Amino acid sequence: MSRLPPLEELVNLFEVEEVARQRLAPELFESIAAGAGAGLTLGRNREAFDRITLRPRVLVDVRAMDLGTQLLGRKLETPILVAPTSRQTLLHPEGELATLRGAAAAKATVVLSSRPGIPLERIAAQARGAFWCQLEPETGAGEFRQLVRRATDAGAQALCLSAGWRGEKPAPPVDWTLVARVREWTPAPLWIKGILAPGEARTAVEKGAQGIIVSNYGGRLVDGAMAAIEALPAVVEAVGRHVPVLIDSGFRRGTDVLKALALGANGVMLGRPPLWGLAAYGAEGVQKVLELIQTELALAMGLCGKPNLAAIDRSLVKIHKR
Amino acid sequence: MPAPFSRRAALRRLGAFAASSPLYQLGGQQRPPGLRERVPALEEIESVLEFEPVARARISRTAYDYVAGGVDGEFTLRRNRQAFEWAELVPRALAPAAAPDLSAEIFGQKLPCPILVAPTAAHSQVHPEGEKATHQGAAAAGVLMAVSSNSSYPIQEVAAAAKGPVWFQLYARDTPEGTRDRVERALAAGCQAVLLTVDTQYMSHRERMLHDRHLNIPAAGVPVRTRSRRQAGAPPAPYRLQPQNPDLSWKTVEAIRAYTNVPFLLKGILTAEDARLAVEHGVSGVVVSNHGGRYLDYAPSTLEALPEIVQAVGGRIPVLIDGGFRRGSDVFKALALGARAVLVGRPPLWGLGAFGPEGVRRVLEVLQAELAMAMAATGCATIAAIDRSAVLVDFA
């Protein structure tokens, strides 16, 4: 095995991916990397960013950079969160504990998978940073209530219901009566993840979702689906005035995040990159991944004349046909 | 030297590096001279792009990476070149121009051609005589040179090194007095215009240079910097930036304009909004520039940004442009889209690194000859005759 490069030598997320590729067993690395089918959507998630350029404004005072934002009443240091991914102990013995520790050091919120490698209560007991919990729609009603209670008791700041995706097969349709009841069971706000179509976003909000997460699950669900960033503008148009909208799938650069913010997203989640950091370096790798992209975002904002998130709007981007 | 990654990673990086080179755009016509190939002599070189591999072979790796590199993944660096492929010349077979006149005029100043040397920093990295040699080469080709605030030699020495006209590129300093002092030195040295760079609020991530630093390759004449540490007094934010000119504002522009008694331009404008503000604030001209793809990645190519800026300015002040110009036909395309003049940054440095002042001269002469050919083929007898009908673009 080649030498593990010191963390400070890594200058972007793709290089962290490369180290993870070296360190992990090929099948394990592939289990993170894989997309559905021929990988069309996997590729498209990245290519779509190359069709969006930025329109930087100059001669704006950007001495005081502030990436902070509010999401459903909670203050976030930056608009970048860690997306839910399952069984992180497969990648590193400390698993979710390390992910939370690294994210806390980078002041980022983590969404814990509904299938963690370590019991939720144990993670929560050691967590220093903020976390949300993921829910699965097909869980039986009794068990579902139990999950919501455990997450609430553990201190989850929000819940995130992942629609449309379970293992290799589609999940059953969302039971909307369950969604309505979650609102009674817990004060934690409920997000629905996996939305690409504006009509579905509208439905989810009507049925009680307090936030929408635009996602094609990193190209792992339906091959041929549009890139998440391509789906974003219509979803924001449909529900952005009423609820906050987050997005994930393919974000690797600070400029990617900035484009999503300009197109109306309130924040961005990273799925694979924190796993690369975790697998190669543990908590410090997670921290490094987050700090790299946070810094890239701050830099891109500064160079675009946007000292804070409120200054970012649609006029910052231009979408090209190629 | 320890290898930080595997061979595969190294190959991947080499591939990415090769793909980002302008040479790649030529479909393999040219490549850096290998061990068994001879380096061409100056008189054998027919196009600007051929200078790059020669310069690369003759200057340090850090100097090459400094000149060649862009920010982040170098998207904008590549797109600057790509955009020229989306604009096509419209030849006029029945009415070609026999001997086109390249002479141009800007701010009342007569120039033999609308091509200028763009301001670039630290020329002594590629040639011991630095900007003095560049100025000699430019003057020999009759080309105006814009000298960087970060030149290796003081502006008065650069200006005095040859008889050709010079402009001054201004980076604002930490204090208004410092900035004014810098401008006054340039004016005393005879600079005929001042270009304030406005797109460098924070130092960007030049990944090639960051890697060079981690490999501890010393830059020519520059001590190896210790690994970046949080600067004393820097906020404990999770994100750390290196400020360059984060406080530049339209007030700064007005203050500098007030005491600058030569044409005063803003360099680094990429939107119609800022172009309009520039006109309103009374500047003499704007340079459409993304800093050669070196500051904000995913900034648009300058050729793509040009039309909206030309339209917003509406002829009230001249619009200049830089960013990826390597062919006379590239220059022609920008002129057709409304640019008054084109600045070339990296090509003169390739000429300088490869052959000294003679190389600079040859680079600029090749560009002029190619521009003349493009004008001849399109039936444009003068620079003023080059208009929007001379090109077809599919991005505007």
Q: What is the number of other CB atoms lying within 10 angstroms of the CB of residue B211? A: 17
B140 occurs within a structural domain: yes
Percent of chain A with pLDDT over 70: 97
B324 occurs within a structural domain: yes
Tell me which residue has tokens 């003068």.
B382
Question: What per-residue confidence (pLDDT) applies to B226?
Answer: 37
A1 occurs within a structural domain: no
Q: Which of A58, A61, A300 sits opposite B274 (nearest CB)?
A: A58
CB contact under 8 A, A61 and B9: no
Phi and psi of B85, rounded to 5°? Answer: -75, -15
State the residue range of the domain holding A47. 7-319
Question: What per-residue confidence (pLDDT) applies to A54?
Answer: 98
Number of domains in chain A: 1
B81 occurs within a structural domain: yes
Q: Which residues of A touch B246 (CB under 8 A)?
A: 61-63, 302
Spans in chain B with pLDDT lower than 70: 1-37, 216-239, 396
Q: Which of A255, A291, A295 sits opposite B298 (nearest CB)?
A: A255
CA distance B140 to B134: 10
CA distance A148 to A78: 27
The tens digit of pLDDT for each residue in B224-269 reads 333 344 344 444 455 679 999 999 999 999 999 999 999 999 999 9
B381 occurs within a structural domain: yes
Q: Which residues of A touch B204 (CB under 8 A)?
A: 299, 303
CB contact under 8 A, A52 and B298: yes
CA distance A317 to A264: 11
- The answer, for B296 touching chain A at a CB cutoff of 8 Å, is yes
State the residue range of the domain holding B174. 75-202+245-393
Question: What per-residue confidence (pLDDT) applies to B311?
Answer: 98
CA distance B227 to B221: 18
The tens digit of pLDDT for each residue in A254-297 reads 999 999 999 999 999 999 999 999 999 999 999 999 999 999 99
Confidence band for A169, pLDDT divided at 50, 70 and 90: low
CATH number at residue B134: 3.20.20.70
B229 occurs within a structural domain: no
Indicate left, alpha or beta for A241 from its phi (over 0: left) and psi (-120 to 50: alpha): alpha
Number of domains in chain B: 1
A220 occurs within a structural domain: yes
B residues 184-223 lying closer than 8 A (beta carbon) to A: 198-199, 201-202, 204-205, 207, 210-211, 214
Q: Which residues of A touch B299 (CB under 8 A)?
A: 53-54, 56
B98 occurs within a structural domain: yes
Report which of A132, A135, A133, A129 is spatially closest to residue A100, judged by C-alpha positions: A129
CB contact under 8 A, B240 and A63: no
Report which of A4, A48, A46 is spatially closest to residue A24, judged by C-alpha positions: A4
A2 occurs within a structural domain: no
CA distance A100 to A93: 13
Question: What per-residue confidence (pLDDT) applies to B28?
Answer: 41
Question: What per-residue confidence (pLDDT) applies to A175?
Answer: 82
Q: Computed over its alpha carbons, how large is the radius of gyration of chain B? A: 21
Q: Which residues of B touch A56 (CB under 8 A)?
A: 199, 270-271, 296, 299
Question: What per-residue confidence (pLDDT) applies to B227?
Answer: 36
A21 occurs within a structural domain: yes
Residue B291 falls in the annotated catalytic set: yes
ipTM of the complex: 0.95
A294 occurs within a structural domain: yes
Higher pLDDT, B227 or A203: A203
The C-alpha of A6 sits at a distance from chain B's nearest C-alpha, in angstroms, of: 9
Q: Computed over its alpha carbons, how large is the radius of gyration of chain A? A: 19
Phi and psi of B132, rounded to 5°? Answer: -60, -40
A residues 274-293 lying closer than 8 A (beta carbon) to B: 290-291
The encoded tokens of residue A182 equal 């979650």
Furthest C-alpha separation in chain A? 58
Residues 6 or more apart whose Cβ sits within 8 Å of residue A30: none
The tens digit of pLDDT for each residue in A101-127 reads 999 999 999 999 999 999 999 999 999
CATH number at residue A171: 3.20.20.70
Classify B66 as helix, strand or coil: helix
B261 occurs within a structural domain: yes
Question: What per-residue confidence (pLDDT) applies to A305?
Answer: 98
Is there a contact between A159 and A186 (Cβ–Cβ < 8 Å)?
A: yes
A156 occurs within a structural domain: yes
